[in-house]
Amino acid sequence: MGKPLLIAKLRLQAAKAGRWFAPPVPRAILDALHAAQIQNVRSQVPMLLAVAVLNTSIVMAVCWNNGLPFSNYAWMSGLILYCLARMTVWKRLLQKPIPLQKVPVIIKANVGLSVAMMGFLGVAASATYVAGTFAYETLIPVSLAFGATAIAHCLYTLRPAAIGVLVVGITPVALSMIFAGEFNAKMLGVSMLSVEVLMIRFVAAQYDRLIEGLFLEQQIRELADTDPLTSLPNRRAIMASMEAELACGTRKKPSFGIALLDLDGFKQVNDSLGHQAGDLMLLGVGGRLADAAEKQDSVGRLGGDEFIVLFRNVKDKADLSARTTNMLAALCRPIDLDGHRLPVAASLGYALYPDDGDTIREVMHAADTALYAEKRASKSRPQAVASSQQNAA
């Protein structure tokens, strides 16, 4: 019993450490985080590689000036060549837009490469220090600590990379100085570990602030794009969705249709039962439309008692007609409002891109014309009967 319990506790602690090291990111801000990370990588990595080449060259110059055999520091040439190769790759990569599907791959690759490279340098620096390879034995450890700190500071958006670089870049060489060095070296090693801890806390705090900022931006976007009463997309959000559909549509294959829907007799509900009842009716109508819509479609509120439905992947006018008819059938059932059972009636007009217009404005105008033609025709019919008159082809 004791051993399984110990293993379970160790696994729990390891899971907690893993979540702290690389916290899971909510899906709502994942794309925004990836955008911030790829922008950070694009701007910082080439500069860091150039600085690595310069600093390594300086260390090699010091070694050569002190008459150290080239075999003792030949491996630094490999590091310089690696950095130059990576700079060439990045120069080509930055010349063209990065596809969204490649962003997570690039981010993971940079995390792995950064930690792996710094881990190699940390082990190499520790080995050379313990072996007493260099006359100035603290030159490489201090240079490495500076480099790890700079990388972590510049790449804080890649939290696992930044923290990993600090741990594998500073810890091994600092420990080797503490256990194998003389007094001054021991004190320097302790100082390096303290800087490492402070930098880890700094990186974690900066990353947390980034996540909080992205959450705030997401909330602001949601408020800007959401109708406050029904929580449906508002005019701004629906128009943006139509712009996106228009961008990917073609003349040969209709990409979307829209339907404008206006409640009949809504003013009488407000006048007789009050605005609270009117709000409840709008909430109920919005919920019914959202439930009746297919997963690929979008329902929004334009304002007042007017709603809009964006139908995606529409085959033709007959397909759009059938889908709007089904939506009206789901909508126009009696609704209970504060003990009053009231009928729900609506007028609807629709339009299809590109049959009814080449722009969003033209398609909206066609649907609006059909809607008001139907409203005029519906005045001669009982309000309890839902109606829809589609525009002519």
Active-site annotation holder among 297, 305, 316, 319? 305
3-state secondary structure of 299: strand
* Cα distance between residue 215 and residue 338, in whole Å: 37
Would you put residue 231 in left (φ > 0), alpha (ψ -120 to 50) or beta?
left
Measured between alpha carbons, how far is 95 from 270 in angstroms, rounded to an integer? 59
Euclidean distance between CA atoms 353 and 286, whole angstroms = 24
Distance CA 358, CA 150 (A): 53
Rounded-to-integer distance, Cα 76 and Cα 63, Å: 11
Task: Sheet containing 256-264: give its strands across.
Answer: 298-303, 306-312, 256-264, 345-353
Residue 68 identity:
L
Cβ atoms of 265 and 383 within 8 Å: the answer is yes
Strands 306-312 and 335-337: unpaired
For residues 231 and 349, is the Cβ–Cβ distance under 8 A?
A: no
Kindly state the tokens that stand for 47.
């500069």
> Nearest 5°: CA angle at 388, between 386 and 390?
175
Round to whole Å and give the CA distance between 274 and 276. 6
Query: Quick check: is 305 catalytic?
Result: yes
Q: How far apart are CA 388 and CA 244, in angstroms?
A: 27
DSSP letter, residue 100: G
Question: What span, in angstroms and rounded, lies between the C-alpha atoms of 183 and 153?
Answer: 30
The number of residues in the chain equals: 393
Per DSSP (E only), the strands in 180-318 are 256-264, 298-303, 306-312
Q: Which residue type occupies 105?
A: V
Amino acid at 297: D
* CA-wise closest residue to 298 among 256, 359, 352: 256
Catalytic center residues = 305
